[in-house]
Amino acid sequence: MFNASLKQLSTQLAEKKISSVELTGEFLKRIKTQNPNYNAFITVNADMSLAQAEAADEMIAAGNASPLTGIPFAQKDIFCAKGWLTTCGSKMLSNFISPYDAGVIERFNQAGAINIGKTNMDEFAMGSSNETSFYGPVRNPWDVAAVPGGSSGGSACAVAARLAPGATGTDTGGSIRQPAALCGISGIKPTYGLVSRYGMIAFASSLDQGGPMAKSSEDLAMMLNVMVGHDQRDSTSLKRESEDYLRDLDQPLAGLCIGLPKEYFTKGMSPDVEKAVEAALEKYRKMGAKTVEVSLPNAPLSIPVYYVLAPAEASSNLSRFDGVRYGYRAKSYSDLDDMYRKTRAKGFGAEVKRRILIGTYVLSHGYYDAYYIQAQKIRRLIAQDFIDAYKQCDIIMGPTAPTVAFDLGAKSSDPIQMYLSDIYTSAASLAGLPSMSIPVGFGEKNRPVGLHIIGNYFTEAHMLNVAHQYQQETDWHLRMPAE
């Protein structure tokens, strides 16, 4: 049951081989026994989850079920869910019960899916290791001494440890793909604007994008069919005709042209990651694809560009957390200004404060033109590099992360080294391109390695096909960590 695909679970529910109440109950039991080892969940509410499961069983009995009806999913604690504690991994929101559902949560509810719990995350999605959470670090189920990646580390861990069949994540500079790689699961960041940001607590609004995390490409496609859709409450939400992301999964790969950016295959990649990625590329060649070298000349600038733009937007977005309307408020203060200072000083963690300070600095008078405007110009060049590369190939591949999961605490005292964990993922985010990670083997200390697949705009169905065909020939996505 715990290693079953979403399609298999959907079939079992439809054929009445198991009820949603039974399925949800089994996952709740597993979370209760296993979560203390991993700290993947911040909030679990069995009563609310089982009530949803009872309603799902009624939908199935009435013949009103959709493919995800009755299946439990973990939700990253950045998505507001009505009646649920929604913390964003921060002390600032440690007492916030959301009065409404995010657009993504609404869509899962409409599909009859079950919210099995809210997953741990880097505070306000700021981090690459899930060590900045107010609720403590998440541990990688493949090796509890290692990080799971971030910021969607709780969701990645929950799927890898089989605490949930699937989970939602958000990706700003790599926060779905990097933890997916480090935990040995599949995860996709859709084209910017396809998934509603309404009710998704903002970090960097021009970059943030929700997406699914699951065992396989097929599972991701099923989740995307629910998550994608226009939302008029989100000004960045795109109006497009709905599509079935399962439609191309079985298409052969003969004639596929894979671009390999020369900037990604450099000395910055560890040998064990390189070995697994090269083996995956060789597998694609045997399946009928060809590879060509392409260039993304401005890709090396993606990290400095990202760490100008994202903190700038964060400093603006996080100004709303002041202790006045909701969330944490300092216990003692002399006046309003003192309340602001003490609330934000005690409510935010060190990494969030660091990024607010950086963002405020680059937006300040005298530095806005020198840093923020220049970064926006380079962002445009990065996007153009991809446009040019796709004239030579159909899809781009490379490593998702430069190393396998590193040990807890190994980079927490060196922010620059931590930021470089997203060196291969941030460029696609800056360009707004869809991109995903799938497991392709193991490296040092038997820790997972991910392959990064970057598609052109709105080519999610094709990307999922490319990933699915590989997963039909390999079993990396079916491997489970020892308990």
Cα torsion for 223, 225, 228, 231, to the nearest 10°?
-110
20 neighbors 57 (Cβ within 8 angstroms): yes
CA dihedral defined by 154, 155, 161, 163, rounded to 10 degrees? Answer: 110
Which residues are catalytically annotated? 76, 151, 175
Q: Which residues lie closer than 8 Å to 133 by C-beta, 6 or more apart?
A: 42, 89, 120, 121, 122, 123, 127, 154
What are 413's two structure tokens? 């005292």
List of residues 6+ apart from 451 with CB closer than 8 A? 276, 277, 280, 397, 398, 399, 400, 437, 438, 439, 440
